[in-house]
A and B are shown apart, each in its own frame.
Chain A
Amino acid sequence: MEKSQGTVVNAQDAFCHAREMAVIQAASQGDKYAYHQLYEQHVGRVYALCYRLTGERAMAEDATQEVFIQLWRKLSNYNGQSKFSTWLHSVTANVTVSYIRKQRGWLKRMFQVDESLAEQPAELSADTVDLESYIVRLPERARMVFVLHAIEGYRHEDIAVMLGMATGSSKAQFHRAKQLLKEWMGYEDN
């Protein structure tokens, strides 16, 4: 019985995968209707990652649009060896990081805004907000590193390349993010 259930599930997975591959192939050949289907299917995941990385609704919306504009040209690079959602996540992270760097001016963010935000005391109560609310309040570099490492599972070595920083800086920013979260969540510092 269990075996037959497993077979049904596998068949369903295979069908979904085949259908998704057909939509991707059509979109990569210029079918905008198929591309719209892909957009509808994945916009929630793409926007969620953009929102966490940018920390702002308006910028996340712009970055999401940028991801789907660039994805149109990159679709033919998808070879089907990994899950499409995994590949799209990687495209989203890369496009969004470079979008943030382009839009805000890396040096300006690094030397002015980033540090000033870190000095701000937490105004939110640990009992009333979720982790998402804290993440978007983190200083930019600490936030990007935290999202990419703790949530998306990137290695510090890869994050360092993506963000143009040393591996040690990525680790330091991750530590900084955790310290701030710890403080904001009401835990005592050691």
Chain B
Amino acid sequence: MKTTKQNVSFEQHLQQQIHKLPNERMPERDLWRGVELGLEASESGSKPVGTVRSSWFAIAASIAFLVSVSWLGVNQLATEKGLDGNALVQSLSSQHEAQKQALLVQYDGQAALTENWQQQLSELDAAAEAIKSALAQDPNNTALLRMLQNVYQQQITLIERVHAPKWQQI
């Protein structure tokens, strides 16, 4: 009997506590800047580059997976060796630059599917720079770090897709 009473009073108490919960809670820092950068990054990467076969998407997905794995590795490294945000940005940027240059050399002289791909690449560069500037102020902001990684990934995908061989075009 005592247990039943206690249960009732717990249920009532819980309901009262739930009703008392505030509808709003303000974040401790301004999140708008990160949102704005995210919107800019997604807009720069949303331009269609051309239709490709599904096999090409599979290749892109594999690349994305590898980058994700390496990104997880970077996270792990940061945890184990105590790397701060600045060091992570530097490491990520230098790895990306090396990968990008290797691809550009590989496709040098090969016709691209779109004429304005270099302009799109520059726009993504500008987005990456804007994110890096924000990271300089807030080096440990994981949302910004992920945005930077996402922009870098979009650059790699762009270079790969516009240089797809003719037989892969529809």
Q: Could you say which residues of chain B place their CB within 8 Å of the CB of A32?
A: 36, 39
Asked if B119 is at the interface (CB within 8 A of a chain A CB), the reply is no
User: 1/0 contact trace for B1-27 toward A, CB 8 Å?
Assistant: 001001101100110011011111111
Asked if A100 is at the interface (CB within 8 A of a chain B CB), the reply is no
Q: Size range of the interface on A? A: 20 to 34
**Chain B nearest Cβ from A109, distance in angstroms:** 15
Asked if B31 is at the interface (CB within 8 A of a chain A CB), the reply is yes
Interface residues of A in 167-190 (CB under 8 A from B): 178, 181-182, 185, 187-188, 190
Q: Size range of the interface on B? A: 20 to 34
Q: Could you say which residues of chain A place their CB within 8 Å of the CB of B22?
A: 48
Q: How far is the CA of A60 from the CA of B21 in the complex (A)?
A: 17
- Which of A6-14, A15-23, A68-76, A155-163 contacts its partner? A68-76
Contact status B42-A44, CB under 8 Å = no
Contact surface of A with B, Cβ cutoff 8 Å: 32, 36, 39, 43-45, 47-48, 51, 57-58, 60-62, 64-66, 68-69, 72-73, 130-132, 150-151, 178, 181-182, 185, 187-188, 190
Q: How far is the CA of A73 from the CA of B46 in the complex (A)?
A: 11
Asked if B136 is at the interface (CB within 8 A of a chain A CB), the reply is no
Asked if B35 is at the interface (CB within 8 A of a chain A CB), the reply is yes
Contact status A44-B18, CB under 8 Å = no
Asked if B166 is at the interface (CB within 8 A of a chain A CB), the reply is no
Contact status A69-B42, CB under 8 Å = yes
**Chain B nearest Cβ from A188, distance in angstroms:** 6
Asked if B32 is at the interface (CB within 8 A of a chain A CB), the reply is yes
Q: How far is the CA of A43 from the CA of B28 in the complex (A)?
A: 12
Contact status B27-A132, CB under 8 Å = no
Interface centre among A44, A45, A65, A151 (most CB of B within 10 A): A65
Asked if B91 is at the interface (CB within 8 A of a chain A CB), the reply is no
**Chain A nearest Cβ from B37, distance in angstroms:** 9
Asked if B139 is at the interface (CB within 8 A of a chain A CB), the reply is no
Assess A48 versus B143: contact at CB under 8 Å? Given A32-B36, A65-B35, A73-B42: no
Question: Which residue from chain B places its CB closest to the CB of A126 in the assembled complex?
Answer: B13
**Chain A nearest Cβ from B70, distance in angstroms:** 16
Contact status A69-B31, CB under 8 Å = no
10 closest A-B pairs by beta carbon, nearest first, are: A44-B24, A69-B38, A131-B17, A48-B25, A190-B3, A68-B35, A62-B143, A65-B34, A187-B10, A65-B143
Q: How far is the CA of A188 from the CA of B8 in the complex (A)?
A: 12
Point out the residue from A36, A44, A73, A190 that lies within 8 Å of B25, measured CB to CB.
A44
**Chain A nearest Cβ from B14, distance in angstroms:** 7
Q: How far is the CA of A48 from the CA of B27 in the complex (A)?
A: 8
With A32-B39, A62-B143 given, can you name 20 additional A-B contacts, CB distance below 8 Å? Answer: A32-B36, A39-B35, A45-B24, A47-B24, A47-B27, A47-B31, A48-B23, A61-B27, A61-B29, A61-B31, A65-B38, A65-B143, A66-B143, A68-B35, A72-B42, A150-B18, A187-B6, A187-B10, A190-B6, A190-B7
